Structure 1
C-alpha cells in the first residue's frame, strides 16, 4: 500500500458549518468550523478522479512550510500565563466516587488552569510526543514561541442571502431569508495536507476543486514528504499516549485497544460532524454525528514496553484501528470512517 500526500490550498474564505440548524434573521448565525476530514475527502475524489481505495489521513495544517496542530487537551494556561501539561497521578486509594465503574480510571489528571487555546508547532508536538515536555512540567517562557502558535485562520462575519433549494425557483433568492454566517479566512500560504493510501501512487488530474461552500475553490497539487511527526522512541512500563490529530467517530468515547488499559483521558467536546454527498443524493447521504474532538489524549498502559512499541509502529500516523470507529463494511470500515477521522499519533507519558 502506498501513501500519496496532496496539498490543498484554499483560494477563498472557508465556510464549512458543523451541521447544526440555525434560524434566519439577525440573531441566527452559522458557525464555521475547521474543515473536517469528510470535506477533504470530497476534494481528493475530485482531484484524482476516483475514490481512494484504502484510507485518507489528515488533514494536517501547513502554513508557509510550518505545520500546526491543535494543542493536546492536557495542556493548560495557568494564572501566570504559562503553559503547563497536566500531571498524571495514580488515583488515591481513599478516593470514592459515585461514577459508573467504566469512568473510574486508575489515574487522574491533576493541575490548575484553563485549556490552552493556542495551536502547537510541529516542534512543540514532537516534544510533547517524545516526553521532553513531560506531564506535570511548565513550558519555559523562552520556549513558548517555538512550541505555540496561533490559529491558522481568522473569523469574518458575513451577511448572507438564502436561496431556494428545490422547485421551479431553485437557486433564486428565498424570501425573508437573510442570515449571518462566520467564514474562516486562512493565512497566506496555508495548505491542508492529506495522505491518500492506495494500491498505487496517485496523481492529480484536476488541480482545482470545490471546498467549503459553493463557488469556493482550492488548488490541489502533489506534496512530497509525510508531514507526520515521529512517534516516541520509548514507552516506559508500557505507557503510551494516543493524540488525535483529527476528530474520531469512535463507537465508544472511552475507547482503548483490547490489549491495553485506559488509565485516563483528556477530553473536551463533543464535536458535531455533518456530511452529505450531492453526487449520491443529499437526502439519502446527509449525516450528523458526534465525534471525539481533535486534540483528545488517551493515556494507555500495555503489559510491556515492547507491546506498546509494536502498537505504535502499526498505528502511528494512520487512523485508529477499524474496530474503534465507523460501521462495519466489506473491509471492516465504512467509507466515512476511512476518510481521515481518527488520525492518531503516539507518544509516551
Structure 2
C-alpha cells in the first residue's frame, strides 16, 4: 500500500544541477526546479538510516538494509512515487508540468497529434531513420495572420489536467508562476580547523522559496520506517523540511484514473498517450526501454507485466535535462546523464485485439513508472499520466 506524504520546507530549498562546483574557482552554483526524484529518494533513505541507526553502523542491521539497501547501487525494497507539486491549503490541488502536445497561439489552444501525412517527417535517429511527425490543424497552418505557435510553458492545475484528459481543454488563461521564486544566497567557505572564513571562497547559490506549495511523494515497501509526520534534510545546504501523511491523496489519483477510463471506453479507440510526470532515464536515450525496432524500423513492444502490445506512432519531447548528483560516500560528483524531461508525450497505438487492456493498463501504469531499470524505477523516474488521442482534428 502506498503512503502519501506532503513535504513542506521551513525556509528556502536548494537543488543543485549536478555540475561540478568548487568554491574559489567557481563563484556561482546553479539550481534546478522541480528537483530530480532521486533527490527525494536519497533524502528519504538518509532519514530512515538516521532515525533508526547511523551511517557507520546501519549495514549491520538487516531490517534497515532490507529497506534502504547498502549503497546507491544496491537498493532495498523502498520505492517512491513523485515528487509532485501540491498546493495543500484551502482547496488542495496538484500542479502538473504542462504536457508538450499543448501549444498556444494568440491565447488559442493547439492540440498536437500525429499526422498521417508522410511528407516533412523528422528523423530522430539519422542513422536508423526513425521518423516522427506531429501536425498542426489545417486552420492554423493555412492562416498566415496567426503568429508562430509556442509552447504553453507553464503548469496545469488539477482542473486543467482534468479538462486536458477529457479532451475539453480549449482556452489559455495566462497566469503568473507565483508558487515559487528564486532567492540568491551568498556564502563563504569556513576553515574547519580555525572556524574562520577562508580567503577568496565567496560563492552565490540560487535558492527556491515556495509559496503555499509543497511536494508530495508516495512510499511503498518502507518497512513502516516512514512515520506519519516528522522532518528530514532535503537538497543542498542541508535544508530542513517537515512532512505529514495525507491519505486523501490516493482519491485524487483514482478520480483522474476514472476520467481516463471513461474517455478511452467512450472513444472505443486504441490510441493512447503517455505523459511523463517525472523525467525518464532510458537506455536508448529518447524512447522507453520496452520498445524495440521491428522489421519496418518502427518501434513497438509489450509493456512489462502485461500482455499489452504498443506501437510508437509519434512523440513530442522537451529539451533534454541533465541528471547528476553528488556521491556522499566518495565525496565526488556523479556522472551527468541526459534525461527526457517531464511533460514529454509519447503517442501509441494499441495492437491488442481483445477488449480488456484498458483496466490492465490503468491499474499497472497510471501514475506509475515505465522504467525497466529497477534502481531508476524505485527512485521515481519515468512515471506517467495516461490519456487518449483522436486520429483527426475536429
| TM bucket, shorter chain | 0.7 to 0.9
Q: Do 2:185 and 2:204's aligned partners in 1 also have CA atoms closer than 8 Å?
A: yes
Partner of 1:57: 81
2:167 to 118, 131, 134: 131
**1:93 counterpart = 2:118:** yes
Select between 66-75 and 248-257 the one with higher mean Cα deviation: 248-257
The number of residues matched between the two structures is 320
Unaligned ranges ≥5, structure 1: 134-138, 327-332
Q: Do 2:85 and 2:95's aligned partners in 1 also have CA atoms closer than 8 Å?
A: yes
Query: With structure 1 as the length reference, what TM-score do the two structures score?
Result: 0.80
**1:247 counterpart = 2:279:** yes
Select between 223-232 and 207-216 the one with higher mean Cα deviation: 223-232
**1:184 counterpart = 2:192:** no
Unaligned ranges ≥5, structure 2: 52-63, 69-75, 138-147, 292-300, 303-308, 390-394
Question: How far 1:276 moved relative to its partner?
Answer: 3.1
* Distance (whole Å) between structure 2 residues aligned to residue 97 and residue 318 of structure 1: 29
Q: 1:173 to 1:269 in 2, by over 3 A?
A: farther
* Distance (whole Å) between structure 1 residues aligned to residue 163 and residue 193 of structure 2: 56
**1:269 counterpart = 2:319:** yes
* Distance (whole Å) between structure 2 residues aligned to residue 180 and residue 344 of structure 1: 35
Q: Secondary structure at the match of 2:2?
A: strand
Q: Secondary structure at the match of 1:123?
A: helix
Q: Secondary structure at the match of 1:16?
A: coil
Question: How far 1:173 moved relative to its partner?
Answer: 3.9
* Distance (whole Å) between structure 2 residues aligned to residue 223 and residue 46 of structure 1: 22
* Distance (whole Å) between structure 1 residues aligned to residue 237 and residue 226 of structure 2: 25
* Distance (whole Å) between structure 1 residues aligned to residue 383 and residue 122 of structure 2: 33
**1:194 counterpart = 2:230:** no
Which protein is bigger by CA-based radius of gyration? 2
Q: 1:76 to 1:151 in 2, by over 3 A?
A: farther
Question: How far 1:275 moved relative to its partner?
Answer: 2.4
Q: Do 1:126 and 1:230's aligned partners in 2 also have CA atoms closer than 8 Å?
A: yes
* Distance (whole Å) between structure 1 residues aligned to residue 242 and residue 365 of structure 2: 30
* Distance (whole Å) between structure 1 residues aligned to residue 107 and residue 224 of structure 2: 46
Q: Do 2:95 and 2:155's aligned partners in 1 also have CA atoms closer than 8 Å?
A: yes
**1:341 counterpart = 2:389:** no
Q: Do 1:23 and 1:29's aligned partners in 2 also have CA atoms closer than 8 Å?
A: no
Question: How far 1:186 moved relative to its partner?
Answer: 0.5
Partner of 2:131: 104
- RMSD after superposition: 3.0
**1:238 counterpart = 2:270:** yes
**1:212 counterpart = 2:235:** yes
Question: How far 1:45 moved relative to its partner?
Answer: 2.6
* Distance (whole Å) between structure 1 residues aligned to residue 338 and residue 371 of structure 2: 19
Select between 39-48 and 287-296 the one with higher mean Cα deviation: 39-48
Question: How far 1:9 moved relative to its partner?
Answer: 0.9
Q: 1:122 to 1:339 in 2, by over 3 A?
A: same
Query: With structure 2 as the length reference, what TM-score do the two structures score?
Result: 0.72
* Distance (whole Å) between structure 1 residues aligned to residue 94 and residue 202 of structure 2: 37
Listed one character per residue, the Cα deviations across residues 133-178 of structure 1 (whole Å, up to 9, x for unaligned) are 3xxxxx235xx37xx77363111223332456xxx75986443132
Q: 1:260 to 1:140 in 2, by over 3 A?
A: same
Listed one character per residue, the Cα deviations across residues 272-313 of structure 1 (whole Å, up to 9, x for unaligned) are 1122342x4433x83422211111111111114643553233
Q: Do 1:58 and 1:195's aligned partners in 2 also have CA atoms closer than 8 Å?
A: yes
Listed one character per residue, the Cα deviations across residues 179-236 of structure 1 (whole Å, up to 9, x for unaligned) are 3321111013x22111111176564187121112224100022121225362312434
